């Protein structure tokens, strides 16, 4: 018995290397099989991750509450001033709303298609050096579809990239595979927001004469028809040496609940086959 245990320990490392090599060959030979296997594993692990994330979320909330006590007084002063400014903007917004309604009726404006949405819980954060995404506890059985927008409040944080039966994976705006058509709200300058797996994605394909300054708001442009125009994304963080960085309104470490939104638009996703990978 001791001899068998010694032999097993000696050959365990070699067996792991062979297994890893076989998995690499399988991934190169048939990516569809690997993707379906990953989805099955995700469906299996999702309930466990959801259960394990609840105590951690509770502890994080307790720690955050203790830290907030020291900032309550200053925060109250800031909110009071902000509330005063918002009341001023509310008056302006009401006047503009009346004017907008009048102009829409004159131009026979066609409203956007109906919007449906629901809230999902973040059960896993797969952020790392090569990927910037997170897992939700909702899948195809809950009505999630590939390509739908994922919001936190009014700000866009990403889109649904993979859907299983009981889970879905969100590709964040900061992921290197994320490319979103955007526009600078003040100057109406169009560009592409490209993630690079850092907290501040880049703004690419700006016109040569574009005037960009830190603090400028960045919103979706609606080009391609995948998402409606005007969804808040972030603000310009820096413009050094020709590299324009955008600071998103929401960071992934702040997310516990998100809203999955179906704007009823197909756009560039019309050609994608929306598969129920969990079946």
Tens digit of pLDDT for each residue in 215-225? 999 999 988 88
User: Does residue 25 register a pLDDT over 60?
Assistant: yes
Instruction: Tell me if 86 is assigned to some domain.
Output: yes
pLDDT at 82: 83
Instruction: Tell me if 230 is assigned to some domain.
Output: no
At 170, the pLDDT band (50, 70, 90 cuts) reads: very high
pLDDT at 235: 95
At 99, the pLDDT band (50, 70, 90 cuts) reads: low
**Any residues with CB less than 8 A from the CB of 213 and at least 6 apart, and which?**
236, 239
Instruction: Tell me if 267 is assigned to some domain.
Output: no
Q: Which of 9-23, 238-252, 261-275 has the lowest mean pLDDT?
A: 261-275
Question: Which tokens go with 198?
Answer: 């850092």
Residue 194 is given by DSSP the state: E
Is 161 exposed, middle or buried, given 0-12, 13-18 or 19+ CB atoms closer than 10 A?
A: middle
The stretch 65-85 carries a mean pLDDT of 78
Among 172, 164, 115, CA closest to 144: 164
Return the biggest CA–CA distance within the chain.
89
Among 14, 37, 66, the domain boundary falls at 66
Among 154, 218, 227, 225, CA closest to 189: 218
In contact, 139 and 266? CB cutoff 8 Å: no
User: Does residue 96 register a pLDDT over 50?
Assistant: yes
At 51, the pLDDT band (50, 70, 90 cuts) reads: low
Domain total in the chain: 2
* 267 vs 178, more confident: 178
Question: What is the C-alpha to C-alpha distance for residues 154 and 241, in angstroms, rounded to an integer?
Answer: 31
DSSP states of 104-148 as a string?
HHHHTPPPPPP-EEEEEEEEEE--SSS--EEEES--GGGT--TT-
Among 210, 165, 206, CA closest to 182: 206
Q: Which residues pair with 58 in a beta bridge?
A: none
Instruction: Tell me if 183 is assigned to some domain.
Output: no
The stretch 59-78 carries a mean pLDDT of 75
Residues 18 and 56 in one domain: yes
Residues 26 and 77 in one domain: no
pLDDT at 221: 92
Instruction: Tell me if 117 is assigned to some domain.
Output: no
How do residues 154-168 score in pLDDT, each as one tens digit?
Answer: 889 999 999 999 999
In contact, 269 and 226? CB cutoff 8 Å: yes
How do residues 195-215 score in pLDDT, each as one tens digit?
Answer: 998 999 999 999 988 889 999
The stretch 57-76 carries a mean pLDDT of 74
In contact, 172 and 199? CB cutoff 8 Å: no
The stretch 144-149 carries a mean pLDDT of 91
The stretch 187-196 carries a mean pLDDT of 93
How do residues 250-267 score in pLDDT, each as one tens digit?
Answer: 888 878 889 998 887 765
Structural domain boundaries enclosing 24: 2-66
Q: Which residues pair with 121 in a beta bridge?
A: 257
How do residues 104-131 score in pLDDT, each as one tens digit?
Answer: 554 554 545 567 888 898 998 776 655 7
How do residues 13-22 score in pLDDT, each as one tens digit?
Answer: 677 777 776 7
Instruction: Tell me if 46 is assigned to some domain.
Output: yes
Residues 52 and 90 in one domain: no
Instruction: Tell me if 180 is assigned to some domain.
Output: no
Residues 31 and 86 in one domain: no
Q: Which of 18-22, 40-44, 224-228 has the lowest mean pLDDT?
A: 18-22
Question: What is the C-alpha to C-alpha distance for residues 132 and 255, in angstroms, rounded to an integer?
Answer: 13
pLDDT at 149: 92
Among 184, 148, 109, 185, CA closest to 259: 148
Residues 39 and 93 in one domain: no
- Residue burial 212-238, b: 16+ Cβ < 10 Å; e: rest: beeebebbbbbbeebbbeebbbbbbbe
pLDDT at 127: 63
In contact, 174 and 206? CB cutoff 8 Å: no
pLDDT at 1: 62
């Amino acid at each position: 018995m001791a001899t068998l245990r010694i032999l097993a320990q000696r050959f365990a490392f070699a067996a792991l290397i062979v297994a890893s090599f076989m998995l690499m060959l399988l991934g190169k030979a048939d990516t569809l099989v690997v993707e379906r296997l990953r989805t099955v594993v995700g469906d299996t692990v999702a309930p466990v991750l959801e259960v394990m994330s609840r105590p951690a979320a509770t502890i994080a909330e307790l720690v955050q509450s203790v830290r907030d006590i020291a900032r309550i007084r200053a925060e109250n002063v800031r909110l009071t001033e902000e509330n005063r400014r918002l009341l001023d903007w509310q008056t302006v917004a009401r006047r503009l709303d009346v004017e907008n309604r009048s102009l829409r009726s004159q131009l026979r404006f066609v409203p956007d298609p109906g919007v449906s949405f629901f809230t999902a819980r973040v059960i896993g954060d797969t952020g790392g050096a090569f990927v910037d995404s997170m897992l939700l506890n909702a899948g195809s059985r809950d009505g999630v579809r590939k390509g739908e927008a994922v919001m936190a409040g009014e700000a866009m944080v990403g889109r649904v990239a993979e859907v299983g039966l009981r889970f879905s994976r969100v590709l964040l705006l900061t992921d290197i595979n994320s490319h979103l058509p955007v526009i600078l709200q003040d100057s109406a300058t169009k560009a592409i927001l490209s993630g690079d797996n850092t907290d501040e994605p880049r703004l690419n394909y700006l016109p040569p004469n574009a005037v960009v300054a830190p603090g400028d708001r960045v919103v979706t442009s609606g080009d391609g028809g995948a998402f409606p125009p005007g969804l808040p994304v972030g603000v310009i963080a820096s413009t050094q040496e020709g590299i324009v960085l955008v600071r998103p309104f929401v960071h992934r470490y702040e997310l516990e609940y998100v809203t999955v939104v179906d704007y009823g638009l197909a756009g560039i996703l019309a050609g994608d086959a929306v598969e129920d990978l969990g079946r």
